[in-house]
Structure 1
Amino acid sequence: MPPRSNWKGYLKLSLVSCPVALFPATSASEKVSFHLLNAATGNRLKQQYVDAETGAIVERQDRLKGYEIAKSDYVVVSDEELDKIEIESSHTIDIESFTPRSEVDPVYYDNHYFLAPDDKVGEEAFAVIRDAMRKRDVVGIARVVLYGRERMLVLEPRSKGLMGVTLHYDYEVRDDAAYFDAVPNIEIGKEMLELASHIIDTKMARFDPSKFKDRYQEAVVDLVRSKQAGRPAQIPHAPAPSNVVNLMDALRRSLGSENAAPEKRREKKEKSADESASAKAKAAAREPARREPTRKASTKGAAGKGRIRKAS
């Protein structure tokens, strides 16, 4: 059963529209989380809002939202007033344009969502929009109001539905020049580049996210379980890599180790197969020789089509 939707409204393309629901595509529920405790009592702590001037605790019903226009001068806005603000993207995902997938810079990606039809009547219209995008191999650019903000949204076909990715605005993305301008232009020698390319070739593989585990979280879980059982905790410690002194030597050693890995796997597989064959041969040698049982043809059945039964 899918989780509750984050948003419900309409997907619109020109004059075609259909009711849809937006669902979170990812979940953080499996992450390890900790509560803050009082070191003296072991009791759990709770957060409270405190008046900055008086120090008094302010309960939920007494809290207001305020926008600071000058130091200690606020314009107060209520939740009811905010709820009354409705623009088109509050209830409609209107696809404003289409573009090739490669045109959207991944640095703008934010959160991922699944978009599915929310009404039987609108399923055909939804399928038309989805399949037309798939046929043209394009993504749609739209907008949607989520969590009190209007967000840009990239839509693309995924299975029988659509995937939506919210985008950061241009002012939210930092200019990479501030980080990369100081990187010097270095001319790499042909041999060094070929060695690095060979290492890449040995590591080529299809992307399979199921092969990746959160090893840090697993170590945290092991730590918690060890402490719960009263056992000494086995805390992993991986030394940081040292600086490369001779890059060519390091590349050659890297290539050698990558080439040796498949050979070791093959030798291990062959050794395992040999051991298995040897074990079968020994088991067969220990079994006493058995006479071949006499087979008797049954006369039952159609002419010439009797079944052969093993004699008991």
Structure 2
Amino acid sequence: MKMNLLKTSYFIILLQTSLTFTAYAQFGGLKDKVLSAGSAVASKALGVDKILKQPAAITTSFEDVDKTGSKLPDFKANEKAQPLYLLPKAPDGGYVLCEGFYEMTTKSYCLMAGTFAPSSGDGYMYAPTLGPKEEIVTTILKNAEKHPEVHQHDIQMLLWAIIARTKFADYSGQIKLTAITLLSPQDLLKLEGGALGILPGNIMEKAKSKLPEGIQTIFEAENQIRKLVASGNYSYAEMEKYAIIAGFAPPRTDVPSGIWTLHPDGYYVRYFPSGYSITKVQIYVPKELLLNSNGKRIIYDATNDIACPANVGSQRLAQTNEPLNPDYKLKLKLFCVGIE
């Protein structure tokens, strides 16, 4: 019975996708007007105060960073890192850690629309992915590794749609196809929870007037993204225009670039973003950590990790296990005891 229900749900989702493309091809701008009108009615019914009380899809902030045990950038400055991607893969994703110093340049994703891209002076520290859409975001990042045919830009647009709290019923075009590829029917149904429609101008202005200045920009950027997604007529560049603010936020001098975070699992990690789509991650695994693990493997799985900026004006960066330009001809110099 349960399997039949899932098959039925999946069929309905595929049918919706087909009808969406057909309707858009036939009616063009009429679809936009209908969506906007429906969203406007829904927003007025919800009310400004209730809209503002809706939680963000991902809530992680620098306040969620545990700075206990952190190290300054000169920690391990004289050591050379080995490629992290050469470590054994864990069955459920990620890498089995061995004693030593490792690094890997990976795909990363912006998880905060309406903010500045990372600058070279920004200090980033580890924080877990938190919020109502935590499981959805983690699932997308895990499944993306299994679908190399899905372009990073398409995954980023899907994440922006989720961060903007777009209703799945409003998904269209490539974003809808990406969602269906990377998420199960059950996951897709969860996208409706906590979502917002397109807010009309008068409600937007009322809501913005009750928000701090920095939050106003994020709130408006999310609404613009919802409009683009629902229209079905968008490009990556158009969405990026709202998601990424031109220029750079001034860095916080009290949290320097290259600062190390002591991860809850006992190893040290730090981040060096290059824009929002590429991050070099470095990890140091103390020998004592493995000696005291009682034979338990220590896994680095980045799909629930956020490189969180000390500067609230910069972007949170979702991390992945996907290396960019790996060289598998290289060999690890250190023998990992107990790891086959």
TM range (shorter): under 0.3
Point out the structure with the larger strand share: 1
TM-score by length of 1: 0.18
**Greater helix content:** 2
Higher relative contact order (CA 8 A, sep 6+): 2
Larger Rg computed on CA atoms: 1
